[in-house]
Structure 1
């Protein structure tokens, strides 16, 4: 039987690479993002031909892809150049947990692996349900502030806020999380965080190490409960800021572990 599905896929971000490997369809991938860390073997097996906001167009074209997969408006210029060069491009733009699950199913269907993708998506849904059930048993729900960048301060995107809720916490900037573009989640005044008094602060400064001591030293932030009690934690960006399986498994688990520990320590407060 002739395989009529894409045979030479270039993945401009990590999540399609992770999904295709999980589905056993990694043989279709001919190029990946240089920021890919999941799965680790992908970095050893596939040429790295893009960053997030830039790509090596000549190298991508040399791979003769029959499909290039990217994510969001940030990669619009890359997509435009590839389309003008005659390449088929799919840019996903999902921003929620439901969107990630739909993405897994859609990508699986695009490569003729819908049944495998459905099983994988159901496995993720079961994991989400398990964490929700565990979170429902916690004695308290902390107020949580998630910081995606520090200069300027950018609050968490929608899927992060949703995962915080599933893990047992309440995001202190729910209205910001509904904004899909980072520029619309910039805090002009860090004093807003002080006013909302989070019990836990998570930092995931996309591409650089989170510095809790710098956060704690911000003017006025010494009054925040999370700062007073030392509850500032890094969540590595590859497991939470990629809208793919990593967030639904490792990212969610990391958030829940911190929240569960906090709830155990402050159950009587």
Structure 2
């Protein structure tokens, strides 16, 4: 009965976030006091690792631990957490599943999270700030040479960048060599061959392997890649996955800044 009472309160008092971008958004809105459980991947802001209990990885979650926290709202992300969401719904919890895969979706997520916690005006101001920042960076890059960029999301197999990453490359003044694949939501649909990368001849290689450190030397030593401009000129840059592979504020700030810096160094 208590759980049912909690479920209908507005704004929700006890929120579990199963991915990191909603955690960061709630902190930025000053609503972090509502968070009672987070993903183990949540690292922004740094204090979240100290202040909030971890209840999930990404495709797995400790359902009994989540239920023990008596949340009145659980925030999930994508089809990869559909099974977790279904288990929580069957247990009687309220669940909101986000599925943003591009910049417009990220901004909508920020606004939606704000609306869910009764902070719509603050969320709107935050989103408008990001929009202005994106526009300013895009304007600053206009008219410059657009280096060709290969973004590597995974190494075995090679997986190219998802939608928001490709858009951020374009905003930064680059040309994503696999922009056509970026519209594909599933990683398996963004698999590319080593030969295709070599043929694309990127000027810059940006790499962010989710959950593990990028091995730049291994990239450099791949068969047939010695003539790729990025390899030949030493333009292989790692971007931390926590900055660029979560579709939220981090990607629009630190992730974007990392791309801008990498392209600027290309000249």
Q: Could you state the TM-score of these two structures normalised by the residue count of structure 2?
A: 0.95
Deviations along 1:62-112, one digit per CA (max 9) or x if unpaired, are 000111001111111111111111111111011001110111001100111
Kept after mapping to 2: 8 A contact 1:135/1:260: no
1:63 aligns with 2:69: yes
- Give 1:4 shift: 2.2
- Give 1:235 shift: 0.6
2:71 partner SS: coil
2:212 partner SS: coil
1:159 aligns with 2:159: no
Q: Could you state the TM-score of these two structures normalised by the residue count of structure 1?
A: 0.95
1:93 aligns with 2:99: yes
**In structure 2, distance between residues paired with 1:136 and 1:242:** 26
Q: Which position in structure 1 is the counterpart of 2:176?
A: 171
- Give 1:230 shift: 0.6
Q: Which position in structure 2 is the counterpart of 1:132?
A: 138
Deviations along 1:123-160, one digit per CA (max 9) or x if unpaired, are 1111111211221153x110000000001111100000
1:54 partner SS: coil
Deviations along 1:219-258, one digit per CA (max 9) or x if unpaired, are 1011111001010000100010000000001100110011
Aligned residues: 259
1:259 aligns with 2:239: no
**In structure 2, distance between residues paired with 1:149 and 1:261:** 24
1:45 aligns with 2:59: no
1:150 aligns with 2:155: yes
**In structure 2, distance between residues paired with 1:216 and 1:232:** 8
Q: Which position in structure 1 is the counterpart of 2:12?
A: 6
**In structure 1, distance between residues paired with 2:91 and 2:78:** 20
Give runs of ≥4 in structure 1 deviating > 6 Å. Answer: none
2:47 partner SS: helix
RMSD across aligned C-alpha pairs, in angstroms? Answer: 0.9
Kept after mapping to 2: 8 A contact 1:145/1:200: yes
Deviations along 1:167-209, one digit per CA (max 9) or x if unpaired, are 010000011101011111112x210000100000000000100
